[in-house]
Amino acid sequence: MSNYTDKIREISERLLKEGRVDMVIGFKQGTMPMMNEPCFVKKPEDVSKLVWDSHCGINLANYLTDRKEKIGVIAKGCDSRNIVTHIIENKIKREQLVIIGVPCKGMIDRRKIASMSDAEILSVAEQNGKVIVKTKDAEKRYERTDLLQKNCALCVHRNPVIYDELAADLVEEQKNVDRYADIREIEAMPPDEKWHLFDDLFSACIRCYACRNACPLCYCPTCFVDESRPQWVGKSTDPIDTKTFHFLRAYHCAGRCTDCGACERACPVGINMRLLTRKLEKDCFESFGWEAGLSLDQRPPLDVYKTNDPEDFIK
Amino acid sequence: MGIEPDRLHFSWISSAESTKFVEVVTGVTEAVRALGPHQKFVKTNVKVA
Ligand code: SF4
Ligand code: SF4
């Protein structure tokens, strides 16, 4: 991982010195373990702030929306797909970007680590596929592969799909991943059971909208949940309002979501709202053979019309 | 998301297809009536001041 950091710094310094970009968007060490923060570097002498490790789960495409500068941006597989989506949706221009691709081996699930110990975690480091977690009086080692974020364990696009520079050699993609086992289970449930499942799933939601804010797809100047004239959805934590928010948020991501997991990662109460976005992802794949953000030349399924669309749900 | 399949219908009817319109509306009404009143997506916690 440290060679990733070195390479990222080297590329960033070069881009800034040559004036090819006005800033580089990457990650810096957070104030707490496992909580790296986005970082905007504008001067070559500041590149030493940039780091790379398994806690860079935030999606940096989120910081590109409507920017006018020339930007170097660090991109994992999923980030790169959201960058493609941003370009397709005219939220940034390809010419403005120098994409520093980072072949990704998956991010570590900070909740999994936190749940394994009662004591405060002082540091989390990595060595040869092992994760070393230090608390005040203990040091424990875990297999890295057991600690991946849920979306990373299911990821089939670890390599950036679009890039100008690479911070490391491309990694092998995971094969034969069954991305939708849990979704199929839910699909098979009778309506009442589904209703109760979502009732439970969202019962802890405090409507903080961290999931929405962390998502690069949610860039509307006024989100439907904030609108008051007309008020599309109630603002309370009434279960119906909460569910309406979640169902609609998920629909707004249909055909666009890359399952980057930034939403789930950001949630203070650990809600797995990806159950909704992945259902839509599955539908888009099955109906239209579509995976979001793989190519700049293809329009997303929800903004094309095809005469051969079977539409057999319409009577 | 927990809505009964028969509660939601999609149809494409031209303004000239009055007979189809009547058929569809009748069909939808019957299907929904058979399911009874919708209990989900109804706010039960609302307090009126
Ligand atoms: S909905 Fe969640 S997983 Fe999908 S792109 Fe947005 S933040 Fe990423
Ligand atoms: S981040 Fe979590 S608590 Fe906040 S609105 Fe989203 S699901 Fe609810």
**pLDDT by residue, tens only, chain A of 315 residues:** 679 999 999 999 999 999 999 999 999 999 999 999 999 999 999 999 999 999 999 999 999 999 999 999 999 999 999 999 999 999 999 999 999 999 999 999 999 999 988 899 999 999 988 999 999 989 999 999 999 999 999 999 999 999 999 999 999 999 999 999 999 999 999 999 999 999 999 999 999 999 999 999 999 999 999 999 899 998 888 999 999 999 999 999 999 999 999 999 999 999 999 999 999 999 999 999 999 999 999 999 888 888 887 777 877
pLDDT for the residue numbered A207: 95
**Degrees to nearest 5, angle at CA A249 with A243 and A252:** 145
Question: What are A270's two structure tokens?
Answer: 């650990």
One-letter amino acid of A216: P
pLDDT for the residue numbered A269: 96
Give the integer Cα–Cα distance in Å for A120 and A91: 40
pTM recorded for the entire structure: 0.92
> Could you tell me the residue range of the domain that residue B20 belongs to?
5-41
pLDDT for the residue numbered A20: 97
ipTM of model over 0.85:
no
Tell me how close the Cα of A147 comes to any Cα of chain B, in angstroms: 30
pLDDT for the residue numbered A100: 98
pLDDT for the residue numbered B42: 85
With respect to residue B18, please indicate whether it lies within any of the assigned structural domains. yes
With respect to residue B12, please indicate whether it lies within any of the assigned structural domains. yes
With respect to residue B24, please indicate whether it lies within any of the assigned structural domains. yes
Residue A274 Cα to ligand 2 midpoint, Å, equals 12
Is-contact A157 A76, C-beta < 8 A? no
Query: Measuring CA to CA, how many Å separate A82 from each of A46, A102, A295, B13, B47?
Result: 26, 14, 11, 38, 42
With respect to residue B15, please indicate whether it lies within any of the assigned structural domains. yes
With respect to residue B47, please indicate whether it lies within any of the assigned structural domains. no
Pocket test for ligand 1, best of A58, A59, A246, A256 (most atoms within 8 A of CB): A59
Residue B46 pLDDT class (50, 70, 90 cuts): low
Half-sphere exposure of B32 (CA within 13 A, CB side): 13
With CA atoms as reference, report the closest residue to A239 among B3, B48, B46, B38: B46
With respect to residue B46, please indicate whether it lies within any of the assigned structural domains. no
With respect to residue B49, please indicate whether it lies within any of the assigned structural domains. no
The number of distinct structural domains making up chain B is 1
pLDDT for the residue numbered B47: 63
Tell me how close the Cα of A184 comes to any Cα of chain B, in angstroms: 13
With respect to residue B23, please indicate whether it lies within any of the assigned structural domains. yes
Cβ contacts of B46 on chain A, cutoff 8 Å: 238
Window 68-127 of A: residues touching B by CB (8 A cutoff) are none
First vs last C-alpha separation in chain B: 31
Question: Which is the closest atom of ligand 1 to the Cα of A273?
Answer: 2
First vs last C-alpha separation in chain A: 55
Tell me how close the Cα of A12 comes to any Cα of chain B, in angstroms: 45
Give the integer Cα–Cα distance in Å for A52 and B4: 47
Is any Cβ of chain B less than 8 angstroms from the Cβ of A200?
no
